[in-house]
Amino acid sequence: MASLIALAVFYLAAVFADFLSPYPYDNEERSHPNAPPTPLRFRRADGSARFLPFVYRTSYTFDENRGRVYVEDRSAEYPIRFFIPGEEHRILGLIPTRIHFFGVDAPARIYLLGADYLGRDRFSRILYGSRISLSIGLVGVSVSFVIGMLVGGIAGYFGGAVDNALMRVVEMVMLIPRFYLLLALRAALPEDISSVRMYFYIVFILSFLGWAGTARVVRGMVLSLREQDYVIAARALGRGHLWVIVRHILPNTLSYAIVSVTLAVPSGILGESALSLLGLGIQEPYASWGNMLAKAMNVAEIQFNPEVLWPGAFIFAVVMCFQFLGDGLRDAFDPMMEASGVKS
């Protein structure tokens, strides 16, 4: 249940990313490369306390080792303000506004999780990136489940030659290692395309990956369901095959489907991250958790900017949440499944 709430928070944050983040994803401040998280101060330079935290303006110099040393300019305080006007955006894509949930006045910058090499706020980019990373997994996996259930339903319902043919196809797809299939599909698509189209391509790729397993399980369930009285009754009443499959058989497999969709979403998120990490997915300046994490592939970089690992922490958290949610749902559905079995 806690994971459901956590996921709700993640998805809400994704939806309201432009309002919650202090800066747009491509807002650069080139004088702040790889800035560390901005320290929030409660105590003024003269020792007196402030109720609301404030930040100082920072600037950097190279030390003798070419490390960047950031120093605070203590002459002016920039309090953190809520509902502060900033760059224009549209809440839910509809309501134009300049108000951001929080921020500081220019020229100071607030970097809760540090900045990347162009001085873009990592926190804002993680929020924007969650739109892509969270939705792409969900959409991709949903599509693959629709395909999987249809194929499984048809195979199980008709049986015989149809079943045989479809299951062989499924086995072919399952034979190929997932990650290589992912790379192969990416390689088969055109190279020079815009990021928006790339998003849809990745959805397509991800939906191509997951359907085979679902199809197999659903087929097994349908094999027994099609012998149920209500199926025979529906057929006797002259309903078409597709109607029977979609209206009478598949709803009975839905509890299974919901659980496994939940458990499969993380693989979608990880698939997108893997592609973007390798530079083959979403491209900068657009943010996705995978392409943000690509900077962490450099050992020296991690040593001096451990903040580059933050997107990884978010991926970890979301994947965990989905796993727990899936487990919880299975426990919740199991008794119902048995009950429905007895009832019929």
Partner 1 sequence: MKPQFNIIPVIVICLCALVSCRRTQPNAAPQKPPEASEAQNKSGVSEHPKAYVPVVGKRGGEWLNATISGPKSFNAVVSNETSTGSAIGPIFEGLTTADPDTLMPQPKLAESWHFAEDGSSCTFNLRAGVKWNDGMPFTADDVVFTYEKLYLNPEIPNSTGDILTIEDKRPKVVKVDELTVRFDLPWKYAPFVRAMSADILPLHKLGNLSAAEFQHHWGLDTPPSELVGTGPFKLVSYEPEQRLIYERNPHYWKKDAAGNQLPYLDRYITSIVKDLNVAYLKFKNKETDVYGLRPEDFQVLNPLQKQNDFTIYRLGPGTGCSFVFFNQNTNSNSETGKPFVQPHKLKWFRDARFRRAVAHALDRDTMINNVLYGLACPQYGPMTISEGFFFNPDVKKYDFDKRKSKALLAEMGFKDVDGDKVLEDEQGNKLQFTMLTNVENNVRVSLANIIAKDLKDLGMEINFQPMPFNPIVAKLDASYDWECVLLGLTGGPEPHFGSNIWTSRAYHHMWFPSQKMPSSDWEARIDELFTLGVQELDPEKRKVYYDEWQVISSEQLPLIYTVVQEMIVAVRNRFGNIHPTPHGGVTHNLEEIFVKE
List residues near partner 1 by CB under 8 A: 26, 28, 30, 33-34, 62-68, 117-119, 191-194, 278-280, 283-285, 297-301, 303-304
Measured from the CB atom, the residue of 144 and 276 that comes closer to partner 1 is 276
Omega before residue 39 within 30° of 0, cis:
no
Please report where in the chains the tokens 């993640």 appear, as a residue: 10
Please state the closest distance from residue 192 (CB atom) to partner 1, in A: 5
Non-local CB neighbours of 206 within 8 Å, separated by 6+ positions? 136, 137, 140, 141, 143, 144, 268, 271, 272
Task: Give which of 204, 206, 237, 226 is closest to 155, Cα–Cα.
Answer: 226
Please state the closest distance from residue 58 (CB atom) to partner 1, in A: 15
Please state the closest distance from residue 284 (CB atom) to partner 1, in A: 5
CA atoms of 312 and 133, how far apart (whole Å):
12
Please state the closest distance from residue 175 (CB atom) to partner 1, in A: 26
Please state the closest distance from residue 194 (CB atom) to partner 1, in A: 5
Measured from the CB atom, the residue of 8 and 69 that comes closer to partner 1 is 69
CA 2 to chain centre: 18
Measured from the CB atom, the residue of 150 and 277 that comes closer to partner 1 is 277
Task: Give which of 211, 25, 5, 208 is closest to 132, Cα–Cα.
Answer: 25
Measured from the CB atom, the residue of 68 and 239 that comes closer to partner 1 is 68
CA atoms of 344 and 330, how far apart (whole Å):
21
CA atoms of 2 and 6, how far apart (whole Å):
6
Residue 62: in which H helix or E strand, if any? Answer: strand 49-62
CA atoms of 344 and 332, how far apart (whole Å):
20
Q: 17 pairs with which residues across the strands?
A: none
Measured from the CB atom, the residue of 161 and 188 that comes closer to partner 1 is 188
CA 220 to chain centre: 30
Measured from the CB atom, the residue of 52 and 297 that comes closer to partner 1 is 297
Please state the closest distance from residue 279 (CB atom) to partner 1, in A: 4
Please state the closest distance from residue 136 (CB atom) to partner 1, in A: 19
Please state the closest distance from residue 96 (CB atom) to partner 1, in A: 16
Measured from the CB atom, the residue of 28 and 105 that comes closer to partner 1 is 28
Measured from the CB atom, the residue of 35 and 55 that comes closer to partner 1 is 35
Question: For the stretch 35-58, what's the b/e string if a residue is b when 16 or more beta carbons lie within 10 angstroms of its beta carbon?
Answer: bbebeebeeeeeeeeeeeebbbbb
